[in-house]
Amino acid sequence: MAMLELRGITKTFGGLKALQGVDLVVNEGEIVSVIGPNGAGKTTFFNAISGFYPPDQGEVLYKGENVAGLGPDDITKRGIARTFQNVRLFPNMTVAENVMVAQHCRTRRGAWSAIFNTPSFRREEAEIRRKAEEILSFFGTRLVGYRFDQPAFVLSYANRRRLEIARAMGTGPELMLLDEPTAGMNPRETKELTGLIKRLRDEKGMTIVMIEHEMRVVRDVSDRVAVLDHGVKIAEGGYDEVSSNPDVIEAYLGRPAEESA
């Protein structure tokens, strides 16, 4: 059974058909990239899967269960995490707190135990903190040490993107939806992040669906690539297959001025 299966996802906004009958299958342990020109509906796609709005039609089958229409918190609880295209950290919370709060749905201690400072509460808090530090250390030395207690807004852009991913990891997912993880990074940072994504799959066992524009990343990391254009999936396959597909080229670059007869 596939980890994630999307059948006929359709979403319309007023007159705009953002997504029309998109199908996609993602198997466990795969890294699938979703590419396409701007406005193709990629982020809408992610939003529909992660519960920000329900798809008008179609099914989102996560491990066999249809989660279409559930709220984002329910979907996260089931094991799907996502990052955002424009990094949306909690700016005034510290680096560690951002990752700690992500563990909310995996932890239980509520108001009573907080007020009475019960041993189980203390234990859980310590565990939350430890786990956050562990996740952050996955990113090397960039987000550790004195960084733990710095407010998130002091971070550099690249570090913020990393924290965004760390936070997604904090929710304890099995499937991660990364929305343009390398946007705005320079080549060195991009290379590092590419390695990170591979490690996420290899070491942490994540299944990853990724929206990307940077083709080098897509080529280096993806098992499969799906191409969206104007809300429709126009191609799917390995990178080489897809990148030489004339429809895909047309979507990005347009038709050659003179069509051969």
Torsion of CA 153, 154, 159, 163, to 10 degrees: -40
> What is the C-alpha to C-alpha distance for residues 89 and 164, in angstroms, rounded to an integer?
6
Which ranges of 32-171 does DSSP label H, i.e. alpha helix?
42-50, 72-78, 95-102, 111-116, 119-137, 157-170
87: DSSP letter: -
**Residue 114 binds to another protein (criterion: CB under 8 A):** yes
Span 28-87, contacts to another protein by CB under 8 A: 50-52, 71-73, 76-77, 81-82, 84
Specify the residue, 7 or 104, whose C-beta has the smaller distance to another protein.
Answer: 104
> What is the C-alpha to C-alpha distance for residues 202 and 250, in angstroms, rounded to an integer?
34
**Residue 133 binds to another protein (criterion: CB under 8 A):** no
Angle at the Cα of 186 from the Cα atoms of 47 and 193, rounded to 5 degrees: 55
7, 17, 63, 191: residue in contact with another protein (rule CB under 8 A): 191
189, 201, 215, 245: residue in contact with another protein (rule CB under 8 A): 189
Per-residue binding string, another protein, 141-160, x by CB under 8 A, is xx--xx--xxx-xx-x-xx-
120, 123, 184, 186: residue in contact with another protein (rule CB under 8 A): 186
14, 15, 64, 110: residue in contact with another protein (rule CB under 8 A): 110
**Residue 260 binds to another protein (criterion: CB under 8 A):** no
Block residue for tokens 């189980």 = 120
Instruction: Single out the segment in contact with another protein by CB under 8 A; choices: 29-37, 57-65, 137-145, 215-223.
Output: 137-145
97, 174, 180, 212: residue in contact with another protein (rule CB under 8 A): 97
Q: Which residues of 228-238 are buried (b: 16+ CB within 10 A; e: fewer)?
A: bbbbbbbbbee
Helix H or strand E encompassing 237: strand 232-237
> What is the C-alpha to C-alpha distance for residues 87 and 73, in angstroms, rounded to an integer?
19
Specify the residue, 102 or 175, whose C-beta has the smaller distance to another protein.
Answer: 102
Residues near another protein (CB under 8 A) are: 50-52, 71-73, 76-77, 81-82, 84, 88, 90-93, 97, 100-102, 104-107, 109-111, 114-115, 117, 121, 124-125, 128, 140-142, 145-146, 149-151, 153-154, 156, 158-159, 167, 170-171, 186, 188-189, 191-192
